[in-house]
Amino acid sequence: MEDLFTGSVLIGLLASAIRLATPYLYAAIGETFGQRSGVLNLGVDGIMLMGAFSGFYVVFKTGDLVGGVLLAALVGLIMGLAMAFISVTLNAEQGISGIGVYLFGLGMSDLLFQKLINNVQTVSGFPVAPIPVLSKIPVLGPILFTQNALVYGAYILVPIAWFVLNKTTLGLKIKAVGENPEAADTLGVSVSKIRYFTVTLGGMLSGIAGASLSIALLNVFQFNLTNGLGFIAIALVYFGGWRPTWVLLGSLIFSFVNALQIWVQVVGIPIPSDIAVMTPYILTIVVLVLSAQRVRPPSALSKAYERLE
């Protein structure tokens, strides 16, 4: 009990939070792009499952880690493209089509798993790769620079996403399409092209999010491996007010509290486990409610755009 908050414990908790946040980051950053352009994709979890299975399958059969990530990204991309086709070209109701994509991914990933592998197996996933020099820094070294390649990738993605959204013409177009598609259209921005791009990108990143679970963090595949993690990622996009840096913050808070509640239970602090496991969710809901007044979602979010001809 007395060692609850020693330095090494805190380092362990933070390293744990960094790992736990990884799949959320890939999925939530991808979803941020989609939502910024006005498309709500609720299928994230299903795309993650397909990515998780594809990546796992490649590594299971060949041991090729990079190939696993590439296939996961490709499968995610294709599913993102399908979601874009349904929601942008067909102008379908986004919430319902997203759930359809989710159910498809949930069922299809399990079907493929049953047919191609058929029992729970482990693989050698991405090894922990300490970054030379940086990993020797006290405190920060073991937390930030002693992780695996896909963990680093997730954190590198955040500043890139921030840069694209805030400092490039493409980012400006994405935001314009999400706020006022009619105006953007009048100015010659193709609403459907932009939305196709963001939703497909989101799908690709969701695929990688799944692979980060199946071939980097957990190194197994099982039915419903993500266990609804993709839906938490969507909540984190709202939490972060559609801004990559805040999405990062939200993912880290959620993951840190999750790591903390495990630790609290492990060291035997007498809190009922039901209460402990609720805390990350309660915290997220509280912050969501508080932040709802703070930031406004993209005006055209989840609204299909039809040109008036």
Partner 1 sequence: MKKFGKLVVLLVLVAILSTACGGAEPAAPAESTGPFKVAVVTPSAINDLAFSQSMYDALVAIQNEMGKENFEFVVSDSMFVVDDAASAIRDYATQGYNLIVAHGSQYGAALQEIAPDFPETSFAWGTAGDTFGLPNVFAYEAFSQEGGYVSGVLAAALNKSGVIGVVGPVEVGDAKLYVDGFVAGVKAANPDITVNVNYTGSFSDVALASEAAQTHIGAGADVMTGSAQMVVGAVGVAKEKGVLWFGTQADQSSLAPEIVVACQIYDWTVVLRDIISLVKEGTLGGKAYALSLENEGLKMVYNPGFDLPADVKALGDTAVKGIVDGTITIGVGGE
Residues within the interface to partner 1 (CB under 8 A): 9, 12, 16, 19-20, 23, 86, 90-93, 96-97, 99-100, 103-104, 106-108, 110-111, 114, 118-122, 213, 217-220, 222-227, 229, 258-259, 262-263, 265-268, 272-274, 276-278, 304, 306
Shortest spacing between CB 170 and partner 1, in angstroms: 29
Shortest spacing between CB 146 and partner 1, in angstroms: 13
Shortest spacing between CB 88 and partner 1, in angstroms: 12
* Identity of the residue, 156 or 275, whose beta carbon is nearer to partner 1 in the bound complex: 275
Residues 6+ apart with CB under 8 A from 169: none
Which residues are bridge partners to 148 per DSSP? 128
* Identity of the residue, 214 or 243, whose beta carbon is nearer to partner 1 in the bound complex: 214
* Identity of the residue, 276 or 287, whose beta carbon is nearer to partner 1 in the bound complex: 276
* Identity of the residue, 101 or 247, whose beta carbon is nearer to partner 1 in the bound complex: 101
* Identity of the residue, 132 or 272, whose beta carbon is nearer to partner 1 in the bound complex: 272
* Identity of the residue, 118 or 186, whose beta carbon is nearer to partner 1 in the bound complex: 118
